[in-house]
Every structure is written in structure tokens, then in C-alpha cells.
Amino acid sequence: MSRFVCQLLLGLLLSILAASMTPAQTGVVENALPKIASGDSLKPSINGTRVTGTTPGKPFIFMIPATGEGPLTFTAKGLPSGLTLDSKTGIITGSVKKAGSYVVSITVKGARGQASRKLKIEAGDHKLALTPPMGWNSWNCWAGAIDDAKVRAAADAMIKSGLAAHGYQYINIDDCWEEKRGDDGEIITNARFPDMKALADYVHSKGLKLGIYSSPGPKTCAGFTGSYKFEEQDAKTYAKWGIDYLKYDCCSYGEIVRPKEPEDFKKPYRIMDKALDSCGRDILFSLCQYGMGKVWEWGEEVGGNCWRTTGDINDSWGSMSGIGFSQNGHEKFAGPGHWNDPDMLVVGMVGWSANLHPSRLSYIEQVTHISLWSLLSSPMLIGCDMTRLDQFTTDLLTNDEVIAISQDPLGKPAGRISDNQGIQIWSRPLSDGTIAVGLFNTSQQDAEAAAKWSELGIEGKKPVRDLWLKKDLGDFSDQYTAKIPSHGAVLIKIGKPTVTD
């Protein structure tokens, strides 16, 4: 049975269950809301990634993520030759003329003051995804019900909701956009996507980027036309349309080759990577083959910017926690430009069909989900209906201190340092000299968890900050202990920053 059919049946089943569930059973209970900071400051702030990359001579687009009471105006000093900034929108466009590392001083001014920050633009070969991609993908909400109007609505909502102002930039179409090949071999979109270039232009006009989906086999997971034997032509078509991201899903490639040796797994991705390199446009390359052949060990070798390490996620504690907490050990294979991908986010309204429902993860479990994905340096691809974001989901996705962990330019994902009776401690070093630590309670009861200095490799009195509360907790010696609800998490930052802008 194909992924598409399985997901369709799952979506229908979950929709039926949702209709019969009480609010308590779905986790949507006001008194179950975890304590997390809410809302943006009225003072200007520059958010999101501190480093972005491009290939000299190829089109570049980057919207400076900034919040604060408007209208906001932007200035930039030190932009490389070939790039220009729109002072009203904060969108940088053009193409960098020469390879190099450029440190740009960005300033945003608003009604309540101004903020400044450095943005590093790395121009050279293989400089994409220097931090994990952030954005939206259509599959976990719409699956086969996706169309042009829903993609445009997602782009509109990314701006209107403010998520783009926190660093989310990709709007990715998953499967089900393809129709057939023309007489000249060029891929043709189906009736639900009448003009892909016009759609890309619309997304780009907002400062966002457009992603698309294909397969190295003759058919995609949903049975549409794949890229087998048309890789170079498809890459050029994507470039002509203005595509910025390709999710490449193995699916029917197993009908062509039954992988036995490591090279059998690698070959189709090498072919598409070569095609993308020569297509004339920067297209982030996302490998999707569900962790087969230990892809984390060779994904970078075949040009992958990120690679799926697991099967598909769904909005249950068993699925999310089983996937997320199985990532230990993979962190040594990831870093700037190449990331492990444990699949898309399952918060907000999801459904894998036209019938959506609130995520079945409780609010507490959703905090665990985002905490863990941020520590893991996973791509942060929202999987819900962007037009129906509630306040909790918005607050969950726009906490800049949590996003800063995901987007830390040092690019060293977390590993697990202890696992004892359902209490797991994960940590990662940060570029400012501090340590991000997640304390997780995977058990069925509330429990205490301790982050011990001896296990973290630090000593002495250290300041601790709660990133979800955006609150300094004080100085602690030897360890920090917190009581955590069942399936809950505490995300902290330990130490005093030694490196600043």
C-alpha cells in the first residue's frame, strides 16, 4: 500500500476519532496549557538565523526576520556587490558577484526604537542550509488535497501570523502537483497548479521561498510522475519556475533497483545532486528515504542538505517521541549545510486530507516536540493549516530564544547524556559559549529531572535561564533540578555568554 493511501486512511480515521473525542481527549484543555512566554515585544528585534549562504551568480532572496511595532524600516551596511535591500520590506535580493564571507550590519527601526545585529552571508560552493531550514510543508495537513490556492494562503498566513518575522521562510509543496510529461519530456503540472512560475513569483514577492517534491523513481509516493531518467530536465524546469527547495522521495525507485550495497542507496541522489548543481539556481536538496541504508552516514556525500532519518511522523505521543528520542548518535554526522531530518512538525491543525483536526499531542507534549526538534538541529517545517493558527501554536512556534537554539550558527546538534527511568537529558554547545539543555520526562508520572554539571562537562556556579519562560532562574552549583510533568520538557541555557555580536 502506498504512503499516500496509508496517509489518506489515517487522516480519515483520525478525523472520525476527533469527532468522537472530548476536548480533554484531544489535549485541548485550557488548564493543561504549559507555562510558556506569549507575544512579541513592541520594541524592534532581529530574529532567526545569523548566517545564510548562496552561490555566486545565482539568484538570492532573504527576508530579514524582524518584529516590533511598525512601520519598520531596514538598513544594511556591508552587503556584498550584487545584492540590494528594500528598506520597507527588509527583503534582500540580487546575486552575489564574488565568493567570500561577508558580515553585514543590519538595523531595523520602528516606533519603539531600533535594533541591530550582524548577518553573515557566505558565498561559495555548497553554502546552502548553513542552519536548519525553517518553513512549512503541505503534507501533514493537506496531503493529496493541496492546490495553488492553499499554497498562496499558506504564504499569506506566514506573513500575517508573524512567523516569517521569526525566521520561517520556506513554503513547500509536497506530492500531488504533477500531471504528466509533454512531448519534449518536460514535466507538466496538473489542473490544481495552473502556473507554477506564477506561484513562485507570488511567494517570492513576499520574501519567502518555494519548495517542490519529486522522486528518483518513475512514480511518486502518491502515484504521480517522478523524475527517473529526467533528472537534468526536471532540475532545469524547477530553476525556470523559481523553485528553492526539492524534497526527493525514494518511493518507486525500489522498483528500479533493490538496494543491496551502499552505492545502490546513493546513486539516485548523486544523479539529482549533479543536475541541481548545474541548473543555474540554488535549490536546497532534501533527501527522503526514511533512514534506509543509514543515510545519516552518507547524506552529505551525495549532496544532501538534509535527510530523513525515520518513517513518517503522526500526531501521537508514540510516533513523535519514538522518532525524536531515537536520534541519539546521529548528531555526529550533522552540521552546517547537512542536517538530520526526523520529519515535519505535528502541531496545530493537521489531518493528511481535506478534513483537519487539532494535533492529538497534548499541549505539554507539543512543548516537548519543539524543544527536542530545536535541540536536534532538525528542519523546522510546520505541518499544519497556516490559516488556522491559534494563540498557543503561534506562541509555541515564535519563541525566539527556542528558535535561536535551532538556528545556532555553531551547528552542533544535541546528543543524549543520560537516560534513567524515563528521565532523559540532552545537551548541545552553542556559539556564544553557553550550553542548551533539555530535561525530558518520558514516563507516565510527574518526576524530578536533574541536569548535572559533571555530566555536562562544566563546573562551578552557573547562571540558568528557562527559554520557554524567557526567565533567568538564578545561579546554580553542581546541578539544576526541575519537576517535570509526564511527557513534558524543560529547556534551559546554562552559562554566561562569552561571545556576542
Asked whether residue 390 is assigned to any structural domain, the reply reads yes
Task: Say whether pLDDT at 6 is over 90.
Answer: no
Shared-domain flag, residues 169 and 64: no
Shared-domain flag, residues 86 and 194: no
Q: What is the pLDDT confidence band of residue 19, given thresholds at 50, 70 and 90?
A: very low
Task: Say whether pLDDT at 249 is over 90.
Answer: yes
Q: Where are the alpha helices (DSSP H) in 217-360?
A: 231-241, 262-277, 317-324
Residue ranges making up the domain that contains 107? 45-123
Cα 102 from Cα 76, distance rounded (Å): 12
Asked whether residue 399 is assigned to any structural domain, the reply reads yes
Domain final residue, candidates 371, 406, 441: 406
Active-site annotation holds for 312: yes
Q: 19 or 164: which carries more pLDDT confidence?
A: 164
Asked whether residue 346 is assigned to any structural domain, the reply reads yes
Domain of 398: which CATH number? 3.20.20.70
Shared-domain flag, residues 424 and 392: no
Asked whether residue 207 is assigned to any structural domain, the reply reads yes
Please check whether residue 254 is in contact with residue 204, taking contact to mean a CB–CB distance below 8 angstroms.
no
* pTM recorded for the entire structure: 0.93
Classified as helix, coil or strand, 366 is helix
Asked whether residue 35 is assigned to any structural domain, the reply reads no
Domain count, the chain: 3
Nearest to residue 346, comparing CAs of 310, 373, 326, 307?
373
**pLDDT tens digits, one per residue of 335-350:** 999 999 999 999 999 9
Please check whether residue 188 is in contact with residue 181, taking contact to mean a CB–CB distance below 8 angstroms.
yes
Task: Say whether pLDDT at 34 is over 50.
Answer: yes
* Catalytic position from the list 148, 282, 312, 341: 312
Shared-domain flag, residues 70 and 145: no
3-state secondary structure 327-342: CCCHHHHCECCEEEEC
Asked whether residue 20 is assigned to any structural domain, the reply reads no
Cα 182 from Cα 165, distance rounded (Å): 40
Give the pLDDT of residue 15: 38
**Cell numbers standing for residue 387:** 490559516
Shared-domain flag, residues 57 and 203: no
Shared-domain flag, residues 356 and 298: yes
Shared-domain flag, residues 166 and 266: yes
Mean pLDDT within 13-41: 51
Classify the phi-psi angles of 210: left when phi > 0, otherwise alpha if psi is within -120 to 50, otherwise beta.
beta
Cα 94 from Cα 104, distance rounded (Å): 15
Shared-domain flag, residues 119 and 168: no
Domain final residue, candidates 74, 96, 123: 123
Shared-domain flag, residues 258 and 241: yes
| Cis preceding linkage at 71, omega within 30 | yes
Q: Which burial class, exposed, middle or buried, applies to 240 when counting CB atoms under 10 A from its CB (0-12, 13-18, 19+)?
A: middle
Q: What is the pLDDT confidence band of residue 501, given thresholds at 50, 70 and 90?
A: low
CA dihedral sign of residues 18, 19, 23, 24:
negative
Task: Say whether pLDDT at 26 is over 50.
Answer: no
* Catalytic position from the list 175, 234, 244, 249: 249
Task: Say whether pLDDT at 30 is over 70.
Answer: no
Domain of 486: which CATH number? 2.60.40.1180
Domain of 117: which CATH number? 2.60.40.10
Give the pLDDT of residue 32: 61
Cα 383 from Cα 348, distance rounded (Å): 8
Classified as helix, coil or strand, 401 is helix
CA dihedral sign of residues 133, 139, 141, 142:
positive
Shared-domain flag, residues 351 and 220: yes
Asked whether residue 267 is assigned to any structural domain, the reply reads yes
Give the pLDDT of residue 259: 81
Cα–Cα distances (Å) from 132 to 193, 337, 373, 412, in that order, read: 28, 8, 10, 11
- Find how far residue 319's CA is from the centre of its chain: 18
Q: 8 or 464: which carries more pLDDT confidence?
A: 464
Shared-domain flag, residues 100 and 175: no
Shared-domain flag, residues 308 and 380: yes
Asked whether residue 375 is assigned to any structural domain, the reply reads yes
Mean pLDDT within 215-226: 96
Q: What is the mean pLDDT of the chain?
A: 93
Domain final residue, candidates 382, 406, 430: 406
Classified as helix, coil or strand, 48 is coil
Mean pLDDT within 129-139: 98
Nearest to residue 416, comparing CAs of 381, 459, 449?
449
Mean pLDDT within 21-29: 35
